[in-house]
Amino acid sequence: MSTLIEGSWDAARGIAKKSFTALPSHNIAVSAGINRVLASDVHALCDLPTYATSAMDGYAVAGSGPWKIIGEVKAGMPMKSALKAGDAVGIATGAVIPDGTFGIIRWEKAQVDEKVLTGQAIENQDIRPAAHECKAGDLLIKAGTKLNPAMIGLLAAAGLDTIDVVRKPRVALLLLGDEIQLTGVPSRGLVRDALGPQLPGWLEKMGCETISSIYISDELDLVVNAARQACASADIVITTGGTAAGPRDYLHNALAEIGADILVDTVAVRPGHPMLLARTQTSAIFGLPGNPQSAIVALISLGQPVIDAMLGENRDDLPTVITRDELTAPADFTRLIIGNLVDGQFVVEEYLGSAMLRGLAHSTGFAVVVKTLTAPGESVRWLSLP
């Protein structure tokens, strides 16, 4: 198997997307489906509306007026008999239209004198016909769609109680390094861990479930044992740090020990250059750089395509936006610049350093810059944060 070494950012993302397939599906309640990805097409089980219903509070009338009010139809309590010419019944919004109805006179436009109704009736006025929105068997939502609340409501209205969704990828985090301090103000040359607390949140937004998170010293045998155990239970294993070739960077050796195939080894991108993607028979492995912003760039760059593939999610190509600022990129490198969209234009955020978090905390995505100089008013691709 060939390994992409120091390849382009786009080529690396292409390998990430093509190297993994959708996970198995399982059946869940429709109400639990928000932000889940459909595993199969979903069709309506009934017509929508299932019955002809009233669009307004008012009176259902038969024939021409004036009409005699003979009763009332409430929502969920259909009238058993048909209306006869000259009959009228009070009707609530959403109530089933009685057989024989000519039209609806809205409550505010009706004149009632004791039991006699007068007003203007137009044929089929304010009647929602059965199957006006869809018929039983119609395709409602395609496989690969991430469900939003409105979709959940549509599926429930169409008679579905359960749906098949792709199982969430299970993620194990291996946080490497001897310099990490877990609580309090850092001292004695240590640095406060910023990745352990934030990675589960990013992964949840991306559709994953974090099942474990452990801290490991920079010792080869410890990294090997942790990686082997993580691969036994997780669909995705994420490591932080150790992706370069320094004297205490053991990830490459550990991957060789567990028989992992490296698919991408460093990418021509700034920040995030020493990112890595590997695979075992059971798991994908993301090697994220240790610097916080670089780590998130790597997660979005290589992790998002893999996660999308595992979820079977259909994602469009990156959109383009106009930049308000002059942007630069190193020759033969892609540069991801943190920032925001303001009035439809990309604006660079402050604090761009790969070890910085302040810019990331106040941004919504990255401009993907491939030219050595991009002038204001030119277009760049936009990579949204989850």
String of DSSP letters for 314-374: --PPPPEEEESS-EE--TT-EEEEEEEEETTEEEEPS---TT--HHHHT--EEEEE-SSEE
- Give per-residue pLDDT as tens, 51-73: 999 999 999 999 998 999 999 99
- Token digits of residue 56: 């307004």
Q: Which residues of the chain have pLDDT under 50?
A: none
CA distance 186 to 175: 17
Question: What is the model's pLDDT at position 182?
Answer: 82
At 54, is the secondary structure helix, strand, or coil?
A: strand
Neighbours of 249 (CB within 10 A): 19
Neighbours of 21 (CB within 10 A): 8
List, in order, residues 6 or more apart from 360 with CB less than 8 Å away: 292, 293, 296, 338
Enumerate domains of the chain plus CATH numbers. Answer: 4-23+168-311 (3.40.980.10), 27-43+140-166 (no CATH), 53-128 (2.170.190.11), 320-384 (2.40.340)
The pTM assigned to this predicted structure is 0.86
Question: What is the model's pLDDT at position 1?
Answer: 61
Taking the CA atoms of residue 199, residue 204, residue 207 and residue 213 in that order, the dihedral angle to the nearest 10 degrees is 50
According to DSSP, residue 75 is labeled: T
Question: What is the model's pLDDT at position 248?
Answer: 63
Question: What is the model's pLDDT at position 223?
Answer: 92
Neighbours of 84 (CB within 10 A): 11
CA distance 277 to 60: 66
CA distance 224 to 287: 14
CA distance 229 to 193: 23
- Cα–Cα distances (Å) from 34 to 170, 181, 200, in that order, read 18, 36, 18
Neighbours of 228 (CB within 10 A): 16
